[in-house]
């Protein structure tokens, strides 16, 4: 169930998922290079319920489709570790041992998945590991089961951003992608189809210029770290997800970063003309990761 590693090749997978302040359903169709948002529905709600999920699935035309849901960030952690030098059948046990002291919940309460991280020739291989709280995974899956909806995979925001980034990167260059919702930020670094690194940025407790300075400074530190640790992967630019005041934050990032910064136009990646609510940058920010998750290939 917890399968986040599928690559972003097709637009055949539908998303029915929690999103900030509610739940969203969306379905993509058409050209895989620039798919059309063919079904979209969103409802404000403090919690998922079988009735809410069934209604959203009906409104967005998702019945019968394999579904992806996104796990809340508080329910999982990500770490990059040196890959254990063990046979494949021993890898799960080796991963448990290596990450048990790197996460803030007990390893016996965790489920985890991993992706390879490309490395320089002659250096030890690395793995990008996502460790999730098993209880949270089961709680997310339960209302889907109760509503008789086929939840095929539980994904995370980092790989959703990866799915978007792979469509932005010039050949042989890495790209960074930053999503910020006014309180929390997620910055990911992607090369080709590989998720290399991610950083969460805390914005709570700040406002105005001080808030944007904090975000830009943390982004600068992350970019500097990436360029030191992965110097053989040239970074093309940083893209900023749509948000209110995106131009102001992009300008601030431009003052701090050694690479260019550009606000991402989602119309470059999706045909959204038929969904009026998706023309609003606040809505685009709110469902940004659902759009990315919808780009995963169907299992």
Q: How confident is the model at residue 10 (pLDDT cuts 50, 70, 90)?
A: very low
Handedness of CA 288, 285, 237, 168 (dihedral sign): positive
Q: How confident is the model at residue 5 (pLDDT cuts 50, 70, 90)?
A: low
Are 177 and 128 contained in the same domain? Answer: no
Are 197 and 245 contained in the same domain? Answer: yes
Are 191 and 256 contained in the same domain? Answer: yes
Are 119 and 195 contained in the same domain? Answer: no
**114-123, 170-179, 288-297: least confidently modelled range:** 114-123
Could you tell me if residue 196 is inside a domain? yes
Question: If you ran DSSP here, which 8-state letter would residue 64 be given?
Answer: T
C-beta neighbour count of 48 within 10 angstroms: 22
Could you tell me if residue 8 is inside a domain? no
Are 242 and 174 contained in the same domain? Answer: yes
Could you tell me if residue 149 is inside a domain? no
Are 106 and 175 contained in the same domain? Answer: no
Could you tell me if residue 155 is inside a domain? no
Q: How confident is the model at residue 207 (pLDDT cuts 50, 70, 90)?
A: confident
For the segment 190-215, the average pLDDT, to the nearest whole number, is: 89
Are 197 and 247 contained in the same domain? Answer: yes
Are 240 and 173 contained in the same domain? Answer: yes
pLDDT at 47 over 70: yes
Q: What is the pLDDT of residue 3?
A: 57
Which residue in 168, 203, 204 sits closest to 189, CA to CA?
Answer: 168
For the segment 10-26, the average pLDDT, to the nearest whole number, is: 86
pLDDT at 279 over 70: yes
Q: What is the pLDDT of residue 203?
A: 83
Please list, in sequence order, all residues whose beta carbon lies within 8 angstroms of the beta carbon of residue 71, skipping any fewer than 6 positions away: 132, 136, 137, 140, 154, 155, 156
- How is residue 139 written in tokens? 């709680």
Q: What is the pLDDT of residue 297?
A: 64
The Cα–Cα gap between 105 and 125 comes to: 26
pLDDT in tens, 135-164: 999 999 999 999 999 999 999 999 999 999
What per-residue string of b and e applies to 184-207 under the rule 16 or more CB within 10 Å gives b?
A: bbbbbbbbeebbbbbbebebeeee
| Owning domain of residue 92 | 73-133
Are 177 and 225 contained in the same domain? Answer: yes
C-beta neighbour count of 109 within 10 angstroms: 13
Could you tell me if residue 153 is inside a domain? no
Q: How confident is the model at residue 2 (pLDDT cuts 50, 70, 90)?
A: low
The Cα–Cα gap between 144 and 178 comes to: 30
Could you tell me if residue 21 is inside a domain? no
Are 199 and 246 contained in the same domain? Answer: yes
**89-93, 119-123, 231-235, 285-289: least confidently modelled range:** 119-123
- In total, how many domains does the chain have? 2
- How is residue 193 written in tokens? 């189809």
Are 192 and 126 contained in the same domain? Answer: no
Are 201 and 257 contained in the same domain? Answer: yes
Residue 128 belongs to a domain with what CATH number? 3.30.420.380
Could you tell me if residue 48 is inside a domain? no
Domain boundary among 83, 110, 133: 133
Domain boundary among 114, 133, 152: 133
Residue 197 belongs to a domain with what CATH number? 3.30.420.40
Name the helix (H) or strand (E) containing 282.
Answer: helix 281-286
Q: What is the pLDDT of residue 233?
A: 94
Q: What is the pLDDT of residue 9?
A: 42
Provide the mean pLDDT of the chain: 92
Q: What is the pLDDT of residue 210?
A: 86
Could you tell me if residue 193 is inside a domain? yes
Q: What is the pLDDT of residue 277?
A: 95
């Amino acid at each position: 169930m917890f399968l986040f590693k599928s690559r972003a090749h097709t637009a055949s997978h539908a998303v029915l998922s929690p999103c900030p302040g509610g739940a969203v359903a969306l379905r993509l169709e058409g050209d895989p290079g620039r798919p059309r948002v063919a079904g979209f529905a969103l409802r404000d709600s403090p919690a998922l319920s079988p009735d809410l999920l069934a209604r959203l699935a009906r409104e967005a035309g998702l019945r019968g489709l394999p579904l992806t849901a996104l796990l809340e960030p508080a329910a999982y952690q990500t770490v990059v570790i040196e890959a254990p030098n063990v046979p494949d059948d021993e890898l799960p046990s080796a991963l448990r041992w290596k990450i048990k002291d790197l996460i803030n919940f007990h390893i016996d309460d965790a489920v985890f998945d991993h992706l390879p991280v490309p490395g320089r020739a002659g250096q030890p291989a690395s793995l990008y590991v996502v460790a999730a709280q098993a209880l949270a995974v089961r709680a997310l899956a339960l209302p889907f089961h109760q509503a008789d909806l086929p939840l095929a995979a539980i994904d995370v925001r980092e790989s959703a951003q990866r799915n978007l980034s792979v469509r932005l990167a010039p050949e042989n260059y890495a790209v960074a992608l930053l999503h910020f919702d006014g309180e929390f930020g997620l910055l990911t670094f992607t090369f080709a189809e590989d998720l290399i690194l991610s950083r969460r940025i805390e914005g709570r407790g700040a406002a105005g210029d001080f808030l944007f300075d904090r975000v830009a400074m943390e982004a600068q530190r992350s970019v500097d770290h990436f360029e030191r640790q992965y110097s053989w992967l040239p970074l093309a630019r940083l893209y900023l997800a749509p948000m209110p005041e995106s131009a102001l934050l992009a300008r601030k990032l431009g003052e701090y970063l050694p690479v260019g910064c550009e606000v991402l136009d989602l119309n470059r990646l999706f045909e959204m003309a038929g969904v009026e609510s998706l023309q609003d940058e606040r809505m685009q920010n709110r469902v940004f990761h659902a759009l990315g998750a919808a780009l995963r290939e169907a299992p």
